[in-house]
Amino acid sequence: MRIFKYILVLIFICYNLFAFEVKFGDTLFGILKSYMSPKDILDISKELKKLDFELKAGQKYEIKNDKIVFHDGIARDIIVDLDTKVVKEVRYSINKLVTVVSGEIEDSLFGAVVKTGEDEILAVRLAEIFEWEIDFFKDIRKGDEFYVVVEKLFCKGKFIGYGKILGADFVNKGRHIRALYYENKYTKGYFTPEGESLKKGFLKAPLKFGRITSTFKYRRLHPVLKVYRPHYGVDYAAPIGTPIHATADGRVVAKSYSKSNGYYVKIKHNNGYYTYYLHMSKFKKGLKVGSYVRQGDVIGYVGMTGYASGPHVDYRIKKNGRWINPLHFKSPSKKLSKNMIADFLAKTNYVASLLDSSYYKFAKLFITR
């Protein structure tokens, strides 16, 4: 057994003697000058340009069997033969495996996804699908469950990431929400089994994750001024520098600073709606009054400027001069047209079947829905 371990260590050492990483400032000439003439390097450089290959810091390469192999991403190798001076491209196929991932929440969606053995990026993408239906700051409960039909990507026998999430179920406080991915030449996105888009006019919150520290109230003891006054927004606490997202499409009508609000942004939306984002640490670079932003665009970063006792964003909604409680706000939704429904049902039937057959605990929900 000890000899076997020594052999493995020797193999590892030998491999790493011939494996390298491109450092900042490295050049093709510097890497190849010990193996060929400047003219040969120039010819090889021209061939590499034809293959759209560019040397980048962090790239891995190996020198073995009189060849230099540049690993250009996961699915492509560029091989330079040091004897013949021939450049060859090798592409590897990426295979998709459709699988169902399920889990139960104990404290957070991140923790539950990681506990299943999956990467936390899957939690982020799952939250993005349901962010119009579930407020991940206040709605998540212990015992909530999720089921995800996702494409897993493999190359050279190794897992390299996720493809599309084809469908997902989320059971939140006993409420079942299903999202099915559908795409045609007119639209794409996630829809309920009835064809209603999960993407609403407004996001539930301007942050991806965090916690609520203060809610909408007509009379609240101000944490800094120590006087009672209305609080027309919801405070979402998060570390300084956390990205703040526009909750709906609109145009920036104010980007400024005030003694009470600190750095803030005001966005005008359709149908008389305005949203406000207060106490930022800084604005997104390039953002200015008149900029048009899309739902989900980063507009600034969490801070504690102005009258603030801790890092957070105070998010507010106003319509026709009247403040609206963001936690009670019902955003309008969109629905597939009648002539798309048949195609939608046909294309999502397989994914719906996978979700239905992946668990039995909530079978009653499907029978009675």
Residue 169, SS3? strand
* Residue 10 pLDDT: 44
Cα–Cα dist 122/148, whole Å: 9
- Residues 118-146 have pLDDT tens digits of 999 999 999 989 987 887 777 888 999 99
Mind giving me the DSSP string for 297-366? -EEEEEB--SS-SSSEEEEEEEETTEEE-TTT----EEE--HHHHHHHHHHHHHHHHHHHHT-STTHHHH
CB atoms within 10 A of CB 260: 13
Contacts of 212 (CB under 8 A, 6+ apart): 137, 138, 234, 235, 236, 237
Q: Which residue has the higher pLDDT, 129 or 362?
A: 129
Please report which confidence band the pLDDT of residue 359 belongs to, taking 50, 70 and 90 as the band edges: low
Chain-wide mean pLDDT for the chain? 87
Q: Which residue has the higher pLDDT, 160 or 362?
A: 160
Predicted confidence (pLDDT) at residue 7 exceeds the cutoff of 50: no
- Residues 229-241 have pLDDT tens digits of 889 999 999 999 9
Please report which confidence band the pLDDT of residue 333 belongs to, taking 50, 70 and 90 as the band edges: confident
Record the pTM. Answer: 0.58
* pLDDT above 90 coverage of the chain, percent: 54
Please report which confidence band the pLDDT of residue 107 belongs to, taking 50, 70 and 90 as the band edges: confident
* Residue 361 pLDDT: 44
pLDDT (average), residues 26-33? 90
Structure tokens, 143: 């015992």
- Residues 177-203 have pLDDT tens digits of 999 999 988 788 899 999 988 887 788
Contacts of 364 (CB under 8 A, 6+ apart): none
Q: Which residue has the higher pLDDT, 105 or 224?
A: 105
- Residues 61-81 have pLDDT tens digits of 998 888 999 998 888 999 999
Cα–Cα dist 78/226, whole Å: 66
Question: Which range, of 150-159, 221-230, 304-313, averages the lowest pLDDT?
Answer: 221-230
Ordered structural domains, the chain, with CATH: 2-91 (3.10.450), 96-201+336-368 (3.10.450.350), 211-324 (2.70.70.10)
pLDDT (average), residues 267-289? 93
Mind giving me the DSSP string for 128-165? HHHTTT--TTTT--TT-EEEEEEEEEEETTEEEEEEEE
pLDDT (average), residues 295-308? 93
**Residue type, position 193, single letter:** P
* Residue 17 pLDDT: 47
